Each structure stands twice: as C-alpha cells, then as structure tokens.
Amino acid sequence: MNRAERAGNYLRDEFFVELLEAQKNLYKSYVFNSAEHDVEGRERALVKLRAMEDFEASLRSIVQQADIDKKRFKVF
C-alpha cells in the first residue's frame, strides 16, 4: 500500500474523520466561548486548530497529488 492509498484510507475512515471533526470543534468552541481576557488560551486553541487543519490538508494533498500524477501519465 502506497502513501496515497494510506492517506485515502484515513480520510475514508468514519471513526478517524469523526474524531478529527470533534477535536476541531472542541478547539473552535474554546475560541468562541473563552473568557474575554483569555487571549493566550484562544491563541493556543487556534494554533492547535490550524495544526489539525494543516494535517488534514496534508492527507488530502497526498491523495490529490497521486491523482494528478496518474492523469499526467495518461496525457503523455
């Protein structure tokens, strides 16, 4: 199994996707519901949220790059 297949398996795994969304929602909730004076806490939550979004984007990128490579070889 190559990288693209493994990344695709994660993105199709219902448990993994639900866990990822739940964690992102937790961080969003903290940002929106935190005390006004807790700037550092919101910043930490935003950093964690961005890291999770970057991780998910990396998985999607791996899958998409494999699709692009397949199409490129068909053209040539």
| Confidence at 65, pLDDT banded by 50, 70, 90 | confident
Domain containing 15 equals 3-75
Over range 3-7, report the average pLDDT.
93
11: pLDDT strictly greater than 90: yes
In the predicted model, what is the mean pLDDT of the chain? 92
Question: Does the pLDDT at position 72 exceed 80?
Answer: no
Read out DSSP for 6-67? HHHHHHH-HHHHHHHHHHHHHHHHHHHHS-TT-HHHHHHHHHHHHHHHHHHHHHHHHHHHHH
Q: What is the pLDDT of residue 5?
A: 92
Domain count, the chain: 1
